[in-house]
Amino acid sequence: METRLANIWRLTVNEKKFIETALQSDLRIDGRRPFDFRNISIKFSREEGSAEVQLGQTHVMAFVTAQLTQPYKDRPNEGTLSMFTEFSPMADPSFEPGRPSEAAVELGRVIDRGLRESRAVDTESLCVLSGKSVWAVRVDLHILDNGGNLVDAANIAALAALLTFRRPECSLGGEDGQQVIVHPPEVREPLPLIIHHLPIAVTFAFFSNESTVVVDPTHYEEAVMGGRMTATLNANNDICAIQKAGGEGVLQSVIMQCLRIAGQKAYDITTKIKNAVESYNTERALRKIKRHPSSVALDISGAGVNKEKNQNKPVPQKGDSERSNLTSEKSVADQSMDIEGEAKSSEQQQTNKIDGDAKNFIGGPSSWDPYSAGVNSDFLKASLASRGIKMPRRKEQDSRGENMTGEAKPVEPSEDINVSSSNIEASETVLWTNGEKTLKDAVKPKNKRKMKSSSTSER
């Protein structure tokens, strides 16, 4: 019993007095100003749908998984989103293993409310068979280290994980069309969740000194504070949820000020999350591309191989060697995806001698094709969007010497390939079914549509 007493973290009267005194001169013990957030670092792992967030000393991990289940009776068309929190005993001496404590339940509830009530995650798109089979998305939050302000960090982790999660694609089959077939990721590219906006939680701590408010309290400040409030907002300044459970009474003007500050912080954090997710998606796309060239190169005809090598030499000189590799590899990969359209594509490309080298290594069919049906349109969109090719392709066409031309062209043929192959079921592919066109027609209008679709589906 005494040993237990000895292991608890204790607060001295000195610290309490000092924190409050320092706050009166707008100083915090780690040198921050009252409305500064700590440094946020977001990391992802190889598994899709898992994120680790560090907010100063606070460490939180989130995992997202999905399963097919029966929907609720009163909502037969919607999938479900549920949140589970685990306060690991290694995070804080006061965390016990076993049943979630009150704080754990409250944390899960605040984050859940922010996502659910604001309809940030689109649950209707998770419906597979109305009334019978829907996707149940489950978010597991693990607290690894408690350095204060768990709600905010856990919220960021949950959002980052949801943004990078991919669920398997499924289709209806069987005799009566009632059987759900789940396609494994090797066969069909998994799909991301549709997330309309990002609700960000911002926590404020109030102290006994009237209007002393700080943002993002640390562990010490949490022990000393008189009350706290969490406001969940998105980047458009829409308030998704507010949580103030007991504690000190606060003036209305203070609350309004807090909400205004929360709006700014939400915007900053949203940008950070989006940047992190984008760079993760780029890296993921790169990883996929690198799988292909080694096998496809063998099958390309001799001319194609030589020209590929030739291309690789002059292009790096233009400056961006990474991009050129991406280009060549990507174009090669695109070819491997769809055998059927290749003949057409090679024709079309050869009619388009903007950058002669890039076209010519579309050679014979590759014998190894992991994508037996369709194209991973998501992958294309992700890599395009992340490379930021939002500028009109016209510029690229004009500036022939530029690197970007090399990138643009190999994508076009694959779009046309998609046009010709009709076995893509995702809704986004409606755009692609435009009939056969020449490359020049394809470039301008098609790109705008594709950009818009990629930007809306990804955000």
At CA 241, angle to CA 239 and CA 246, rounded to 5?
Answer: 130
User: CB of 13: closest distance to another protein in angstroms?
Assistant: 5
Taking CB under 8 A as the rule, does residue 90 contact another protein? Answer: no
Give the pair of three-digit tokens for residue 310. Answer: 């030739």
Q: Please classify residue 188 by burial: count the beta carbons closer than 10 Å to its beta carbon, then call 0-12 exposed, 13-18 middle and 19+ buried.
A: buried
Binding segment for another protein (CB under 8 A), chosen from 2-10, 82-90, 352-360, 393-401, is 2-10
Give the pair of three-digit tokens for residue 237. Answer: 């300044």
Taking CB under 8 A as the rule, does residue 317 contact another protein? Answer: no
Smaller CB separation from another protein, 6 or 46: 6
Taking CB under 8 A as the rule, does residue 222 contact another protein? Answer: no
Count of positions on this chain that bind another protein (CB under 8 A):
21
Taking CB under 8 A as the rule, does residue 3 contact another protein? Answer: yes
Taking CB under 8 A as the rule, does residue 209 contact another protein? Answer: no
Smaller CB separation from another protein, 6 or 388: 6
User: CB of 10: closest distance to another protein in angstroms?
Assistant: 5
Taking CB under 8 A as the rule, does residue 322 contact another protein? Answer: no
Taking CB under 8 A as the rule, does residue 5 contact another protein? Answer: yes
User: CB of 147: closest distance to another protein in angstroms?
Assistant: 13
Smaller CB separation from another protein, 89 or 177: 89
User: CB of 9: closest distance to another protein in angstroms?
Assistant: 9
Smaller CB separation from another protein, 31 or 401: 31
Taking CB under 8 A as the rule, does residue 2 contact another protein? Answer: yes
Q: For residues 403 and 315, is the Cβ–Cβ distance under 8 A? A: yes
User: CB of 2: closest distance to another protein in angstroms?
Assistant: 5
Smaller CB separation from another protein, 25 or 317: 25
Smaller CB separation from another protein, 3 or 252: 3
Binding to another protein (CB under 8 A) within 11-30 occurs at 11-18, 21-22, 25, 27-30
Smaller CB separation from another protein, 13 or 401: 13
User: CB of 99: closest distance to another protein in angstroms?
Assistant: 27
User: CB of 245: closest distance to another protein in angstroms?
Assistant: 25
Question: Between 31 and 60, how does the x/- string for binding to another protein read (CB under 8 A)?
Answer: x-----------------------------
User: CB of 8: closest distance to another protein in angstroms?
Assistant: 8
**Helix 252-291 crosses helix 377-386 at what angle (to 10 degrees)?**
120
Smaller CB separation from another protein, 27 or 297: 27
User: CB of 27: closest distance to another protein in angstroms?
Assistant: 5
Taking CB under 8 A as the rule, does residue 422 contact another protein? Answer: no
Smaller CB separation from another protein, 3 or 317: 3
Interface residue list for another protein (CB under 8 A): 2-3, 5-6, 10-18, 21-22, 25, 27-31
